[in-house]
Amino acid sequence: MNYSKVTLTQIEPNDLPTVKHITNGLLPYLLTPVEFNQSSVNHQYKIYLEDINAYYFSIRGLKDGFKLITLGFCALRNINWVSRHSEVYFIMLGGKCTVPHNSNAKDALGQLLRFAFEEVNLNKVYINVIDGNEIREILGDFGFVAEGSQRESVFKKGRFLDVTVYSLLAQEYREK
């Protein structure tokens, strides 16, 4: 997939140090309790490659107008092929959230949704958002709807946090 601002490509082995850096930088907003070392990231990468219920992408963009760098990662994962839904996984550094309020993040999320609904033919995508991850506004821009809140379902820094589930149906995507 190739668009003007950012490009979604397959994750390559030389992306893995960046995966570690970005993932560990966004730990407060992820289910992962501890930081990854490089070995565990590499191991996880092998699992990704064999996962037939997921598509993982590296988000690449131009820096200073000419140098292509990795900005983050995104995925459709836990795909249910019968009920045609998938979880959206999206991480990009830039503030107190996993989807920063900038045009690159919006462009990348837009491409991922286009892929989900126009290429993979899903009926629904959803995203789980931990309290404190300030992405509600950006999800609203894409038409995501809050389906509810999983009470006290994640333990971080000595307390249980809620997780809000947002979803977008194919019909809503097309209308948008």
Partner 1 sequence: MIGHKNVALKPIEEEHVSLLVKWGNARGLLRNRSTKRKTCTTEQKEIVNNSGDNPDFLSFMVLHSSAPKGVCEVYDLDWINRGCKINLYLEDRAESVPACGDSALLAILDFIYDSLGMHKATVDLLADDVVMAGLYKKHGFKAEVRRRQHYFTNGQYKTVIEMSLLEEEFEALR
Nearer to partner 1, 101 or 131 (CB): 131
Nearer to partner 1, 95 or 148 (CB): 148
Torsion sign (Cα): 64, 115, 128, 35: negative
Supply the minimum distance, in Å, between the C-beta of residue 175 and partner 1: 15
What SS3 state is found at 145? strand
Nearer to partner 1, 108 or 129 (CB): 129
Nearer to partner 1, 76 or 108 (CB): 76
Strand ranges for the chain from DSSP E: 6-9, 55-63, 67-80, 85-92, 124-130, 145-156, 159-169
DSSP state of 4: S
Supply the minimum distance, in Å, between the C-beta of residue 57 and partner 1: 24
Torsion sign (Cα): 131, 134, 135, 138: positive
Supply the minimum distance, in Å, between the C-beta of residue 129 and partner 1: 12
Nearer to partner 1, 37 or 149 (CB): 149
Supply the minimum distance, in Å, between the C-beta of residue 141 and partner 1: 19
Q: Using CB under 8 A, list all residues that contact partner 1.
A: 31, 33, 80, 82-85, 123-124, 126, 145, 147-155, 160, 165, 167, 169
Supply the minimum distance, in Å, between the C-beta of residue 48 and partner 1: 20
User: Which phi and psi (to 5°) does residue 64 adopt?
Assistant: 55, 25
Supply the minimum distance, in Å, between the C-beta of residue 54 and partner 1: 15
CA atoms in the 13 A half-sphere facing the CB of 172: 16
Nearer to partner 1, 3 or 81 (CB): 81
Q: How does 115-137 read in b/e, with b if 16+ C-beta sit within 10 Å?
A: bbbeeeebebbbbbbbbebbbee
